[in-house]
């Protein structure tokens, strides 16, 4: 039997309208545009201001655009996986809510959580349903309302995160394109450095947990930074070497957008130029599971069939990994 691969055949995204600038943040906490730009590289981020809207709000926007752009009827979709750390509710899954909101009825859907590596984990998982020929049209969406767990009195975390969503459609191909290889990893020792202390089964919500601000993101920036720099670069270089990809033959690195310095360190280790790296951290900040599809969405018209593309992430868990894709279509032919 001919080997089936999963290939991305379309990209959609949605970012909220409200722009939270560094100057506005400087009025909330003791920080400055200069500090945030030098240490993180973020100028502004998008925030969901609509009342009683969660991650499914942006996720639905991204999936709707994806369906329209790819001329796909909701009935044709077999599976939808939503990567998120900020689900609308503990249950049901945000994937179920997005599916309902866009009219997907002939499918199953579930959420997947792997911190900032969620999209990569979900893409890898989705590709297996295609490769085994059990599912033909699979949507992977990364959707986050990070602002719902950010403490806007904590200057160490509040400049970093933003809200948004991106989605891709995966379909089978027998051509020499698509998801070629992936390496995903975890090391649970890192779980103490980046997590949400309360609200789960270990520490259910109570007045005490609220008083102690334990529902917000807790991050020890420096250990996370050190691990991110080494692990994201290691796995990306390993992927290049394994597939004989050189800096000259790599078209694009699509890195998780957590910190400009982490992105630059990864690119340096890979020996590639900044022009080969998709970077939009300045405008959207760290949207956790949505950073990678937001990059692909913005760069879609520059992507060409056969391009060697490496996606790389690092996040809470710790989780990290890289996926090597031979890009499947000429983005400039896609209707806007
Ligand atoms: O996506 C999930 C994975 N997450 C990451 O990859 C994040 C990795 N970590 C980082 O990106 C960086 O560690 C941060 C951006 C979080 C922090 O940058 P840093 O260069 O590690 O700063 P730091 O925590 O060592 O703080 C340096 C100084 C401290 O002051 P002192 O003790 O030197 O006087 C902080 O209090 O900067 C201070 N500081 C700030 N100053 C102005 C911390 N946050 C701010 C701020 N504005 N927003």
Model confidence over 3-49: pLDDT tens digits? 999 999 999 999 999 999 999 999 999 999 999 999 999 999 999 99
5-177 and 179-333 in the same fold: yes
Ligand 1 within 6 A of CB of 31: yes
Q: What is the pLDDT of residue 1?
A: 67
Tell me what pLDDT residue 103 has. Answer: 98
User: What span, in angstroms and rounded, lies between the C-alpha atoms of 86 and 144?
Assistant: 6
Annotate 249-270 with b (16+ C-beta within 10 A) or e (fewer). ebbbbbbbbbbbebbbbbbebb
Span from the CA of 192 to the centroid of ligand 1 (angstroms): 17
* Positions of the chain with pLDDT under 50: none
CATH topology of domain 179-333: Peroxisomal Thiolase; Chain A, domain 1 (3.40.47)
Name the class of domain 5-177. alpha beta
The residues assigned a catalytic role are 116, 256, 286
Q: Is the CB of 328 inside a 6 Å radius of any atom of ligand 1? A: no
CA distance 316 to 114: 7
Can you tell me which atom of ligand 1 is nearest the CA of 155? 48
pLDDT in tens, 201-226: 999 999 999 999 999 999 999 999 99
For 3-24, give one letter per residue: b (16+ CB within 10 A) or e: ebbbbbbbbbbbbbeeebebee
Q: Is the beta carbon of 117 within 6 A of some atom in ligand 1?
A: no
Determine the residue of 29, 221, 319 to mutate for testing ligand 1's pocket, defined as the one with the most ligand atoms within 8 A of the Cβ atom: 221
Tokens of 66: 């994806």
- Pick the atom of ligand 1 nearest to 222's CA: 13
Judging by DSSP bridges, how do beta strands 5-14 and 163-173 pair with one another? Answer: antiparallel
Q: What gap in Å lies between CA 49 and CA 26, rounded to an integer?
A: 19
- Ligand 1 atom closest to Cα of residue 32: 47
Mean per-residue pLDDT over the chain, rounded? 97
Each domain of the chain, given as residue ranges in start order, spans 5-177, 179-333
């Amino acid at each position: 039997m001919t080997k089936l691969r999963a290939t991305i055949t379309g990209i959609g995204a949605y970012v909220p309208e409200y722009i939270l600038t560094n100057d506005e943040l400087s009025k909330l906490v003791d920080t400055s545009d200069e500090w945030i730009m030098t240490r993180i590289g973020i100028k502004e981020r998008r925030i969901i201001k609509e009342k009683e809207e969660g991650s499914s709000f942006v996720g639905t926007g991204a999936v709707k655009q994806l369906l329209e752009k790819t001329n796909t009827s909701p009935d044709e979709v077999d599976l939808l996986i939503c990567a998120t750390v900020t689900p609308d509710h503990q249950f049901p899954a945000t994937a179920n809510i997005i599916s309902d909101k866009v009219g997907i009825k002939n499918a199953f859907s579930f959420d997947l959580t792997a911190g900032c590596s969620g999209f990569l984990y979900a893409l890898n998982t989705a590709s297996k349903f295609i490769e085994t020929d059990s599912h033909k049209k699979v949507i992977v969406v990364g959707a986050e309302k990070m602002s719902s767990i950010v403490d806007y009195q904590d200057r160490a975390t509040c400049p970093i995160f933003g809200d948004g969503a991106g989605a891709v459609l995966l379909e089978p191909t027998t051509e020499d394109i698509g998801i070629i290889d992936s390496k995903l990893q975890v090391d649970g020792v890192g779980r103490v450095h980046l997590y949400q202390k309360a609200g789960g089964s270990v520490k259910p919500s109570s007045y005490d947990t609220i008083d102690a601000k334990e529902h917000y993101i807790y991050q020890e920036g420096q250990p996370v930074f050190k691990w991110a720099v080494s692990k994201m670069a290691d796995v990306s270089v390993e992927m290049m070497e394994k597939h004989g990809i050189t800096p000259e033959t790599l078209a694009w690195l699509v890195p998780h957008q957590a910190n400009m310095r982490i992105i630059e360190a990864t690119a340096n280790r890979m020996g590639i130029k900044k022009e080969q790296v998709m970077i939009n951290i300045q405008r959207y900040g760290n949207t956790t599971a949505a950073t990678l599809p937001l990059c692909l969405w913005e760069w879609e018209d520059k992507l060409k069939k056969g391009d060697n593309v490496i996606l790389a992430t690092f996040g809470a868990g710790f989780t990290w990994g890289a996926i090597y894709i031979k890009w499947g279509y000429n983005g400039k032919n896609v209707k806007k």
